[in-house]
Amino acid sequence: MVYAVISAFSGTGATKTTVNIAGTSYDIYEMPADGAITVGTPGDVDYLIVGAGGASSPANYNASGGGSGGDVLIGTQAVSAGTKAITVGLGGTSTTSAATSGGDTSALGLTALGGGIGAGFGGGAAILPTDGGGGGARDDGDSLLGAAHPTSYRGGNGYRVSGGKKHSGGGRGAGGNGGDADADTAGAGGPGILSDITGLSVEYGAGGTGRIWELNVNVPTDPETPTIPGHGGPGVTSRPYLAGSPGANGVVILRVATPGATTPNEVGGGSIASAVSISGGAVGQTHRLGGSAIASAPDATGGALGQTHAIGGGVVSAQVSASGGGLGQTHALPGGAVSAQVAVSGGQLGQNHRIGGGSVTSQVVITGGAIGDISAVPGGSIAAQVAIAGGALGQTHRIGGGSAVAQAAISGGALAQTHALAGGSVAARIDATGGALGQVHRIGGGAIASAFVAAGGAFTQGQVSGRRWARPGETPGKGKILTGRQGPGSLRGWR
């Protein structure tokens, strides 16, 4: 809510106080009599409006009923800029012959009715209760029944025994009925309504209590003036005539947030149905916005966008958390348009980095800074797996699966030392050791079903066709060795 700013106020006895209620600074304007306020900036105003209490009637050898409490209105009202008149009801009064009701109280377009009189006897005649007043206790019985109030509740009934006990009923309160009298007790005043608008819990608009009178026993009960706004006057007892108790005046209490104070602010409704809570001064410490057009909830702690920040929901379904200042240490974004997850620690894209899901189904793990040491990419359009350690494509490299069914194992840098390719379109097996195609080389299967062995170098010259050599005891075939080298044993060539 956005509170109005009250720029001026006037009225007899009007006061302004500033109080702190649950960590919020409020300006409290209390108007015990007619006056006015000037609203400089429109907004909401918390209000308490209390009608005046009614008086109890006079008594003459009997007990008069308690006066009715005034109505109590509590709530929050939106007000426009300008001057607003305030009318405060006066409490009812009593003489030895009559009594009056409490006056109505009006403010901000609202009216709280005053309370009625309690029953009694004055001026040689019974006085009947009105508007919630309690019943009296005369022998004639005309004033025994309590009266109903126009808004709610009623006064309590009186009790009498001819020539003996005469007990009066309590006045109606803003929060309930007045109590009935019986053979032993007078009726209690009806309850009022509690309000803590000033920071203190106070019961406003309670009914006046009834009284007990017994012939030749009771002593007069003098009038009492209630001090809490809206209370009805208590009954009296006497012999002979005694005026009743007056009712308390009404009151208007208005409350707004102190302008410029650092307080929690809640914003609801309108185009923004979000709630904002700010503590600790500027946009720092803790801040939350949720709902409506902005469905996300940012949390900021520690001042600027550092330490911990979280945004979720709304048009951005991703979640971002940052700790340690800038985009370093730990960062995670899941869901939304980017379904990948990124974890960053240590500042730049080094140490540990993970991206998974989304359009890229692969997983990449990077340790030690650049693309080095350990890197793994599985799945996606490339079904192969690559493992890289030690920086560039060196030491150990493996690629398997995907469109290439073959498997290659590479160690020591380039295609040297040990190399194996198997499967796929080539069903042969090749082993190479010692650099180029030297030392030991084997080719088996495929189009060449024979076995060929060469050791100690490479075949760089000559052509061989048919049966090219024979073991001892075998007959050599025909043909010619164009150029060759003879080792131990017998080797003959033929054209």
- Render pLDDT for 80-119 as a digit per residue (tens, 0 to 9): 999 999 999 999 999 999 999 999 999 999 999 999 999 9
> pLDDT value at position 233?
98
pLDDT over 60 (residue 348):
no
> pLDDT value at position 181?
93
Query: What digits encode the pLDDT tens for the residues 7-22?
Result: 999 999 999 999 999 9
Pick from 404, 408, 396, 450: nearest CA to 432: 408
**Tokens standing for 431?**
């082993």
Question: Rounded distance, CA 253 to CA 260, Å?
Answer: 21
How does residue 260 score in pLDDT terms, banded at 50, 70 and 90?
confident
> pLDDT value at position 280?
39
Pair type for strands 386-388 and 397-399: unpaired
Q: By residue range, what is the domain housing residue 43?
A: 1-263
Residue 386 CA neighbour count, 13 Å, CB half: 16
Residue 132 maps to a domain: yes
The number of distinct structural domains making up the chain is 1
Calculate the average pLDDT of the chain. 68
Degrees to nearest 5, angle at CA 44 with 39 and 46: 100
Pair type for strands 35-41 and 397-399: unpaired
Residue 249 maps to a domain: yes
Residue 233 maps to a domain: yes
Cβ atoms of 421 and 434 within 8 Å: the answer is no
Question: Rounded distance, CA 55 to CA 116, Å?
Answer: 7
Say what percent of the chain tops pLDDT 90.
41
Residue 272 maps to a domain: no
Pick from 438, 415, 439, 418: nearest CA to 429: 418
Residue 336: alpha-carbon gap to chain centroid: 23
**Tokens standing for 306?**
């550092």
Residue 4 maps to a domain: yes
Query: What digits encode the pLDDT tens for the residues 56-73?
Result: 999 988 899 999 999 999
Residue 473 maps to a domain: no
Q: State the distance between the two ends of the chain, measured CA to CA, in whole angstroms.
A: 111
Query: What digits encode the pLDDT tens for the residues 231-255?
Result: 999 999 987 889 999 999 999 999 9
Residue 36 maps to a domain: yes
pLDDT over 70 (residue 485):
no
Residue 442 maps to a domain: no
Task: Report which DSSP code applies to 289.
Answer: -
The more confident residue out of 163 and 209 is 209
